[in-house]
Amino acid sequence: MNRTRSQVATRTASQAWRERSALHSGHGEEGPIREGGRLQHRLSGGRHGPIDLVLSPGWATHLDLAWELPPLARFLNELASLSRLILLDKRGTGLSDRFSPDALPSLEERMSDVQAVMDAAGCDRAALFGTLGGGAMSGLFTASFPERTRALILYGTFAKLEPTTGLLARLADSPDVASTG
């Protein structure tokens, strides 16, 4: 099988992270069992880093596949070099259990999931880093649980999602489709 340099570089970056992660955090966590299923999470960086950092990305995640993308792997490695990085696959995404499409988790349920992962990781207080759709949950978590939040970092997120003019319309390629769900 002939592999391109890009494929070899991707594989090498992924292998390097796994080796580094194994040194610092052991392995992925089976995650707490929540009503509706099991949440998967990973710890990276020092076991007792100067700060715990919970990354709450938007949309879909996958704890294993994230490390296969060199730019994302570099970003996660940088975060892990500065903190004990706590990553989770949100309910219904990646390695976490699925949920019924008729019962999408609310922001409150997602906050509860983050609390459960923090508890499982032995984290009393963390900085929350919310990107895209994870920003709304991170902001609400910070306002609801200031005693568990050390800092709030938001990147590329939004305060209000307008179905007819914003991101949903662009993703759906039609304002009519976006507004009807």
> Over its length of 181 residues, how does the chain's per-residue pLDDT go in tens digits?
555 544 444 445 445 444 444 333 334 555 565 566 777 888 888 766 689 999 988 777 887 877 788 888 898 889 998 899 998 887 777 777 787 778 778 888 889 889 988 998 899 999 999 988 888 889 999 999 999 999 999 998 876 666 555 555 555 554 454 455 4
pTM higher than 0.85: no
Give buried/exposed letters for 6-37 (b at 16+ CB in 10 A, else e): eeeebeebbeebeeebeebbeebbebbebebe
Question: Where exactly are the structural domains of the chain?
Answer: 5-180
Euclidean distance between CA atoms 73 and 12, whole angstroms: 11
Euclidean distance between CA atoms 69 and 13, whole angstroms: 8
Q: Which CATH class is domain 5-180?
A: alpha beta
Token duo for residue 126: 């963390």
Q: Where are the alpha helices (DSSP H) in 53-166?
A: 70-82, 107-120, 134-144
Q: Where are the alpha helices (DSSP H) in 46-102?
A: 70-82
